[in-house]
Structure 1
Amino acid sequence: MPDNAVTMNHSSSEESYDMTEAKDFAPAVESPKNLRVSFNNIGDFENASTIDPPENMLAESLSIQSYAGRPRSMSHHLSSKKIPSRRVLKMKARFWRSLMQLAMHFHDWAPPRSPRPAFTHKMSTDTIPVELFFYLPPTYHETLQRNPSHRFPAVINFHGGGFCLGDARDDRYWARVVLEHTNAIFVSVNYRRAPEHPFPTPVDDCVDSILYVQDHAAELHIDPSNLALSGFSAGGNLAFSAPLRLAFHRKMNAIERMPSRPTTSHSVVTDTEANDREGQDHESHNFVTPVHSTSNLLGEQTDTPLRIRTVIAWYPLLDWTMSRSRKIRESRNPKKCLARTFTSLFDFSYLPAPDVAGDHCSPYASPSLAQDHMLRDGLPEDIQMWLCEWDMLLREGQVFADRLDRLGKRIDSKLIPRVPHAWDKSPNPFRDQRAIDMLYTKAAVNLNKVFQNKEGYGPANSMSSLHPTDSIIERQPRRSIVLPI
């Protein structure tokens, strides 16, 4: 494949963004000059070479008081005079999908090998069906033999790809780690993609997948009151926008507090013990066992409660009102940002110009623009965000994490130093997958604590802290080859 195809080197991807003409309108509300974004993990870095000080260009945020009237910039794709036809966009999307499928074939060669879906279900729609891929934990059959009424927690995952590329099986390495460390069922959603299905179809497909899991919880042996949402890039956007759309468009409460789960001496682990066990295999972790399951609360009910307990978002896109030119200009390493070839395809496909309805400002497209009460009432209390230092989406992620913290959410926001967007999706089969799995494991162990309803989850007692000695920092190649996720 050519270097400018899917296996692209980000050091050469600074193409055709006209920074001189990227004039941005000021926000609708004058932003205070002294408002800062807190880097929640800044104390974990003592080596100045690992992370820039917080006084850099990323530390100044936009106003978090009002977003409703924020205009888009003049360099925004919705203001472009050269709008590609839907036919051209479809042809480009199909071309890059085929190349990405080939690249992910090589991606899957890296050891340890990822699992295959145990089975699939299909949700019917007005066009093509939406596939759900189910991955089962290692103890699935043994647990059900001991207790056929046991309900497993579940992670519903949304893949990346700029809303128009990617596949539900792209995140199977993440699925493997989740299965090993949480004993949860992993459900990956093949939502319909743009440009064939622009906004809000992918969001609604993700909402429908959550409701599908709830409706079929009994036959799937899933506890619908113990769900987590995860996603990468575009999928991270959907992991935030789906619960908001479920709550305020579908008028369904998925964040309602449930009774506390019963605990025993077997389930109580101190922070020291948990950190000691983090590097061990999955058999040493305290899973949600039949004793701790909420199946006793559900019984044989058909109308089972629904509760989304946490969101895990990996380098999410959160604000469509900011142009790509502005995001690159404000990034820490513009040379490592995605090329315009991909960003233009993503942007025009998902939010077609001219956007008369103002969809780019919708909280279901730009979760960071949602009003305070929507974020407070529509998102779960526990949230993890994993951000990349060399990503054009870093700034909006830091701003959003800071806002969630101000709203009282238990937000665990971590910046991964010196890596570009989608660093973990490299098609290079010789990449250091074990180093990537270390961060996956940190996220999964924290997820397991939420499933078990343990105290102490959050930034103060986080098990996902990064340190300069972490293998992902020492071993990750600087010239990362990544996919346009």
Structure 2
Amino acid sequence: MPPSPSRIESSSSKSEESYDMADMTEAKDFAAPASPGIPRVTFSNIDGFQNDSAIDDTEDASVDDFEPEPFSRRPRSMSHHLSSKDIPSRKALKYRARMWRTLMSFGMLFHSWATPRPPKPSFTHHIPTDTIPIDLLFYLPPRHSEILSRNPDHRFPVVINFHGGGFCLGDAKDDRYWARVVLEYTNAIFVSVNYRRAPEQPFPGPVDDCVESILWVAEHAAELHIDQTNIALSGFSAGANLTFAAPLRLAYHRKVNATDDKAFSPTSSHTMHSDTEANDYGDHDQETHNFVTPVHSTQNLVRKETKTSLRIRTVIAWYPLLDWTMSRSRKIRESRNPKKCLPKTFTDLFDFSYLPPPDMVGDHCSPYASPGLAQDHMLIDGLPEDIQMWLCEWDMLLREGQVFADRLEKLGKRIDSKLIPRVPHAWDKSPNPFRDQKAIDFLYIKSAINLNKVFQNKDGVGPDNSMSSLHPTDTIIERQPRASIVMPI
């Protein structure tokens, strides 16, 4: 199914320095204001997560002492690159992007050597477009064949993942370690999306590619043995931005309601339970045997009377970019460790590539580019109720992440916001093959256990749940040595 979003025209019909103003205007179809927010929801906290592999106690017990500034409706400023007079040409940006993509591919090759090794995609599907196709990499859970041999009509939940890289670098294979943990702890199908990147495909191209991927998976759910009413979105950095932007774009641009609990509300009476099958996985961690499949199958939930063919259950966002109106210089200035922030070489490449000047219609303020600026009713109705956000203490994106998490909580979302102390942006993507991957997996596992509970339609409250922030009493990973290389994810 070819995508239908507006695109910046190719250089064969326009000069590389020109932009289609009609397309840019079309991207900014903001929804109208709506009713006030719903009541606030709070959760109990959890103490005492333990792990023996490279996990340190927090040196500073005040990791959560940051008080985010309240969200306001004040006039938004232009991101610094949009008012810059020194604008690189599109040709120069393409050259730089291709050079860094090549270098980064070598870095991620070394990254993939860490043990335990990540899985390879089971198969790949290509969604045709007007340029290069959108690649979908499918990773199948270990018991996929066994379950289908027992029940050919079985449906698996699905995690659709968007990689990072500032919208112009990165690859769908970059998150294979996260895929491995998801497969093990949720028994879901994992789909990693190779959306088309900037500068060849600037905003809103990557957002629309992600929307197309979600729709394609839902439309082909039967042949893929996927439960299209049990979808999770995950992403890292730029991909985390897309986990919020894509559902909003899906709801308010494509007019597809994918988060309405009234249209689809699963209950425990529709699930299947088998003690025998549950005991088959007794050798795993005490919580990992509680798979949504086959222990709690949702295949009977795919019913015609629900009047919906798609439901996004949760979002998992790792160190997201949420606000393009704050300049990079301000973000660095307000960060906790400016020396650990990404250098200007990368941020300029990302910014000029994704949101090229001149921004005549204010695309940098669009909720599809800056989800943190979306109107309240868009966040209430366009995003799922359960949301995880993982933020890095030494990241220039920390402040906007905390402000957004605080706002989502006030709007009534079940927000699980975790601050990881003493780590920079892309803390989990080091090219060092001798890094302690088990320590990274500790936080991946914590997130995946919570994801599995959402797939099972649990309420997310309780002393054994992972639905909590990291606290000073928790054991926390100190991700990497101070002098280590951080990938520009």
TM-score bucket of the superposed structures, by smaller chain? 0.7 to 0.9
Alpha-carbon separation, structure 1, partners of 2:272 and 2:294? 15
Structure 1 match to 2:265: 259
Query: Which runs of 4 or more aligned residues in structure 1 lie more than 6 Å from their structure 2 counterparts after TM superposition?
Result: 40-48, 300-304
Contact 1:388 1:419 in 2 (8 A): yes
**Matched letter for residue 60 of structure 2:** T
Q: 3-state DSSP class of the match of 2:59? A: coil
Q: Residue 244 of structure 1: which of 223, 248, 273 is its match?
A: 248
Alpha-carbon separation, structure 2, partners of 1:370 and 1:459? 33
CA 281–461 in structure 1, closer or farther in 2 if over 3 Å, else same: closer
Q: If the length of structure 1 is used for normalisation, what is the TM-score?
A: 0.83
Structure 2 match to 1:49: 59
Q: Residue 67 of structure 2: which of 59, 65, 72 is its match?
A: 59
Contact 2:127 2:135 in 1 (8 A): yes
Q: 3-state DSSP class of the match of 2:136? A: strand
Quote the offset at 1:290 in angstroms: 4.4
Contact 1:435 1:476 in 2 (8 A): no
Structure 1 match to 2:6: none
**Matched letter for residue 78 of structure 1:** L
Structure 1 match to 2:203: 199
**Matched letter for residue 123 of structure 2:** F
Aligned ranges 1:262-411 → 2 under 5 Å = 262=268, 280-281=284-285, 284-290=288-294, 292-298=296-302, 305-411=309-415
Structure 2 match to 1:33: none
Alpha-carbon separation, structure 2, partners of 1:282 and 1:132? 32
**Matched letter for residue 66 of structure 1:** R
Contact 1:436 1:472 in 2 (8 A): no
Contact 1:151 1:295 in 2 (8 A): yes
CA 346–171 in structure 1, closer or farther in 2 if over 3 Å, else same: same
Alpha-carbon separation, structure 2, partners of 1:401 and 1:251? 25
Contact 1:226 1:309 in 2 (8 A): yes
Structure 1 match to 2:77: 71
Alpha-carbon separation, structure 1, partners of 2:201 and 2:222? 31
Q: 3-state DSSP class of the match of 1:424? A: coil
Alpha-carbon separation, structure 2, partners of 1:134 and 1:301? 29
Tell me the percent identity: 73
CA displacement, residues 311-368 of structure 1 (integer Å, 9 cap, x when unaligned): 0000000000000000000000000000000000000000001111110000000000
Structure 1 match to 2:219: 215
Alpha-carbon separation, structure 2, partners of 1:204 and 1:177? 28
Mind listing any 5+ residue stretches in structure 1 that lack a counterpart? 1-37, 269-276
**Matched letter for residue 128 of structure 1:** I
Mapped pair 1:233 → 2:237: yes
CA 237–475 in structure 1, closer or farther in 2 if over 3 Å, else same: closer
Structure 1 match to 2:486: 482
Mind listing any 5+ residue stretches in structure 2 that lack a counterpart? 1-41, 50-55, 276-280
CA 279–160 in structure 1, closer or farther in 2 if over 3 Å, else same: farther
Q: Residue 159 of structure 1: which of 156, 163, 168 is its match?
A: 163
**Matched letter for residue 349 of structure 1:** S
**Matched letter for residue 64 of structure 1:** F
Alpha-carbon separation, structure 2, partners of 1:326 and 1:286? 45
Aligned ranges 1:112-127 → 2 under 5 Å = 112-127=116-131
Structure 1 match to 2:172: 168
Structure 2 match to 1:432: 436
Quote the offset at 1:474 in angstroms: 4.9
CA displacement, residues 22-41 of structure 1 (integer Å, 9 cap, x when unaligned): xxxxxxxxxxxxxxxx9x98
**Matched letter for residue 290 of structure 2:** N
CA displacement, residues 250-294 of structure 1 (integer Å, 9 cap, x when unaligned): 1110002223243679689xxxxxxxx999449952111346323
Mapped pair 1:418 → 2:422: yes
CA 441–461 in structure 1, closer or farther in 2 if over 3 Å, else same: closer
Quote the offset at 1:126 in angstroms: 1.0
Structure 1 match to 2:91: 87
Quote the offset at 1:461 in angstroms: 4.9
Contact 1:151 1:223 in 2 (8 A): yes
Quote the offset at 1:295 in angstroms: 2.0
**Matched letter for residue 101 of structure 2:** R
Q: 3-state DSSP class of the match of 1:321? A: coil
Structure 2 match to 1:9: none
Q: If the length of structure 2 is used for normalisation, what is the TM-score?
A: 0.82
CA displacement, residues 142-186 of structure 1 (integer Å, 9 cap, x when unaligned): 000011000000000000000000000000000000000000000
Contact 2:287 2:449 in 1 (8 A): no
**Matched letter for residue 121 of structure 1:** H
Quote the offset at 1:479 in angstroms: 3.2
Alpha-carbon separation, structure 2, partners of 1:458 and 1:314? 23
Alpha-carbon separation, structure 1, partners of 2:450 and 2:341? 29
CA 407–278 in structure 1, closer or farther in 2 if over 3 Å, else same: farther
Structure 1 match to 2:17: none
CA 213–164 in structure 1, closer or farther in 2 if over 3 Å, else same: same
Alpha-carbon separation, structure 2, partners of 1:338 and 1:458? 38
CA 53–222 in structure 1, closer or farther in 2 if over 3 Å, else same: closer
Mapped pair 1:110 → 2:114: yes
Alpha-carbon separation, structure 2, partners of 1:44 and 1:284? 18
Alpha-carbon separation, structure 1, partners of 2:58 and 2:219? 51
Quote the offset at 1:473 in angstroms: 2.5
Mapped pair 1:178 → 2:177: no
Contact 2:156 2:225 in 1 (8 A): yes
Quote the offset at 1:305 in angstroms: 1.6
Alpha-carbon separation, structure 1, partners of 2:143 and 2:202? 39
**Matched letter for residue 416 of structure 2:** D
Matched residue count: 434
Alpha-carbon separation, structure 2, partners of 1:433 and 1:279? 21
